[in-house]
Amino acid sequence: MFTRNFSARVVLTFCLVILSVLSIDFHKHATATATGIFGYCASTDQSAAYVTQIFDFGANPNFALDTNPIQNEYFEYLKGRFDFKSNAAYPTACPFFDTISRAQSAKRDYETQMRPGHQIVEVEWNYTPDRSQWANQVPRPGTPRRIVNTAPVDHTFCVSDPYQGTVYFTGPVMTPPPVAMYQWSNGFTQFLKAKYSFQERVYCNMGTTEIARRLLNAHLDGARAGGKKVVETDWKYDASQAASASRPADRDEDREPAQRPAAQPANLQARDFVFKETPRATAYCVHDRVMAAAFECDCLRRQISAYRLAHVSDTLSASPTPLEELFKGDKVDFKSCVQVEWKFKMAVRGVVRSQGSSEASADCAIQKFHALLVAKPYPTQSKQILNEAINACK
């Protein structure tokens, strides 16, 4: 009797082990081949590459996925968590794929490329999608469409760099236009100096009610994850104080007339011109999504500045070459400004996929687009060259 029961228990245990192994294997296979929209986010500085785990973007496949909001949230998290700073137009990238296995493979390739010169830092950040944005959208089946956010950009928040282990913030609060962001930054800085002897920098940003909330929360979540204390200041912007602070001093009618300054040398005048043009040159690139993904905007700006300083007579003439003409690329060589290949692939993928390209077509189009841009590095033709690449890969 004992022998028979023992044998039965052995057989039962063996069956359970086999079922467990098969279950684990099936789960791994299902995970690797699951379909949807999956990916990761990454960013680099001089010494480290910050990479998230693979996550589900939670996107509706009937809509074109715009990764900019995701990238912006990730950037805020990195700033709060690691005091991360970057002057790049797109400091983070969040490539997406139609299967987990492809996303995992792309992430491994990225880490392999970055490992020789960077420490790989696994970041414990995950994007929480806002599924409510699809609630009233009814696209045609199988036709990707872009979601248009019509909510007003009328909420502002301010947040500080960490000072003595503490991050200070205020908002988001309703701020009807017009809004002078530098006045907000100055006002918040003066408040922190007076109340907390604050000695670092602050920055302020605007968005819709939801976007402003998400950006601020991402930054604060990162700060807390980095062991920093977070303090809500409840500071309120006072427009009357800002206006008073910016009002020019009363004119002294008895003072001696100002002496006319000597004329500046031509090269210094050209530098003046470049300094004033820099914000417009940067904005010209940043506001063109395809251009900013394919080129390093700061590099484009530097090349244009170099052209201005090398052609002083044109720069200081009554009608200098328009900025828009220089961005065409026939006067300035922008080949060195095309993003390095790994960053190019990450930044451009979202743009290509948002136009409805399949995964295989997207890979082809990205490679084709890079080759065409290296041959014809013309920033203002970026969209045209991308469409040429996409059509060639259909």
pLDDT at residue 148, as a whole number: 52
For CA atoms 176, 179, 181, 183, the dihedral sign is negative
In this predicted structure, the answer to whether residue 160 has a pLDDT above a threshold of 90 is yes
Instruction: Classify residue 377: in a domain, yes or no.
Output: yes
Same domain, residue pair 301 and 235: no
**Quick one: 272 and 358 in the same domain?**
yes
- Span 269-315, pLDDT tens digits: 888 888 888 878 887 887 788 888 888 888 898 899 999 989 989 88
With 50 as the cut, is the pLDDT of residue 29 above it? no
Does residue 176 sit within a domain? yes
**Alpha-carbon gap, residue 358 to 269, rounded angstroms:** 51
Domain identity same for 270 and 232 = no
pTM over 0.75? The answer is: no
Instruction: Answer yes or no: is pLDDT of 32 > 50.
Output: no
| 102 against 242, higher pLDDT | 102
- Find out whether 68 and 293 touch, Cβ atoms under 8 Å: no
Return d(Cα 357, Cα 345) in angstroms, integer: 15
Q: Beginning with the edge strand found earlier in the chain, give each strand of the sheet holding 155-160 in spatial order.
A: 202-207, 155-160, 166-174, 229-232
**Are 274 and 350 in the same domain?**
yes
Residues 227-273 have pLDDT tens digits of 999 999 999 987 765 544 444 444 444 555 555 445 557 677 888 88
Instruction: With respect to residue 252, please indicate whether it lies within any of the assigned structural domains.
Output: no
> Which one-letter amino acid corresponds to residue 205?
N
Question: Do residue 233 and residue 271 come from a single domain?
Answer: no
Does 282 reside within a domain? yes
Q: What percent of the chain has pLDDT over 90?
A: 25
Q: Report the distance separating Cα 57 and Cα 79, nearest Å.
A: 21
Cα separation, 59 vs 131, in Å, equals 8
153-162, 179-188, 259-268, 318-327: the lowest-pLDDT one: 259-268
Within-domain flag for 323: yes
371 and 292 both lie in a single domain:
yes
From 32-46, 170-184, 253-267, the region with the lowest mean pLDDT: 253-267
| Residue 200, in any domain of the structure | yes
User: How many CB atoms are located within 10 Å of the residue 147 CB?
Assistant: 14
Measured CA to CA, the distance from residue 33 to residue 378 in angstroms comes to 39
Whether 296 and 367 share a structural domain: yes
Asked whether residue 225 carries a pLDDT value surpassing 90, the answer given is yes
Give the residue numbers spanning the domain of 165: 155-214+225-242
Do both 276 and 361 map to the same domain?
yes
- Averaging pLDDT over each range in 14-23, 147-156, 243-252, which range is the top one? 147-156
Residue 353's pLDDT band, with cuts at 50, 70 and 90, is confident
User: Which has the higher per-residue pLDDT, 115 or 359?
Assistant: 115
Phi, psi angles (nearest 5°) of residue 111: -65, -35
Same domain for 100 and 160: no
Q: What is the mean pLDDT of the chain?
A: 78
Q: Residue 153: what residue type? A: V
Choosing from 91, 110, 127, the residue where a domain stops is 127
- For residues 9 and 5, give the distance between their C-alpha atoms in angstroms, rounded to a whole number: 6
Maximum Cα–Cα distance across the chain: 120
* Tally of domains in the chain: 3
Which phi and psi angles does 56 have, rounded to 5°? -85, 120
What are the Cα distances from residue 168, in Å, to 80, 159, 241? 11, 6, 21
pLDDT at 132: 59
Q: Is residue 164 part of a domain?
A: yes
Which region among 46-60, 248-262, 356-370 has the lowest average model confidence (pLDDT)? 248-262
Same-domain pairing of 171 and 285 = no
CB hemisphere CA count around 70 (13 angstroms): 27
Quick check: 166 pLDDT over 90? Answer: yes
Question: 353 and 279, same structural domain?
Answer: yes
* Residue at 97 is within a domain: yes
49, two tokens: 């590459």
> Across residues 63-80, what is the average pLDDT?
85
Residues 284 and 175 in one domain: no
